Amino acid sequence: MVELETKITESGVLYVPKEIRQCFSRAMKIIPNATAAVFFPATAEYEDVLASLKIIEADIKHRVAMQKRDKTLLCSKNKAEK
């Protein structure tokens, strides 16, 4: 799964990379909370959005696990060098 970064202009315009724009229609829905937001085609069924979010959740959990493993390996390597 790809992770993309983008910026919001001072006037509030969010640049959406071409790879995303090609997959979605121009009419979008956005559901934000305190630390994240999900955006999806306005015509999407909520059940399909939830299914997609489960896949994204699994990917994020995998990334967290890899970060923890990398930190553990780094700490072990540093201790071995001392």
Domain layout of the chain by residue ranges: 1-43, 45-82
pLDDT of residue 3: 85
pLDDT of residue 80: 65
pLDDT of residue 74: 62
Q: Is 44 exposed, middle or buried (0-12, 13-18, 19+ CB in 10 A)?
A: middle
> What are the angstrom distances between the C-alpha of 60 and each of 9, 44, 45, 46, 49?
27, 22, 23, 21, 16
Comparing 23 with 30, the larger pLDDT belongs to 30
- In percent, the amount of the chain with pLDDT more than 90 equals 55
Please give the structure tokens belonging to residue 57.
């959740």
> pLDDT band at residue 35, thresholds of 50, 70 and 90?
very high
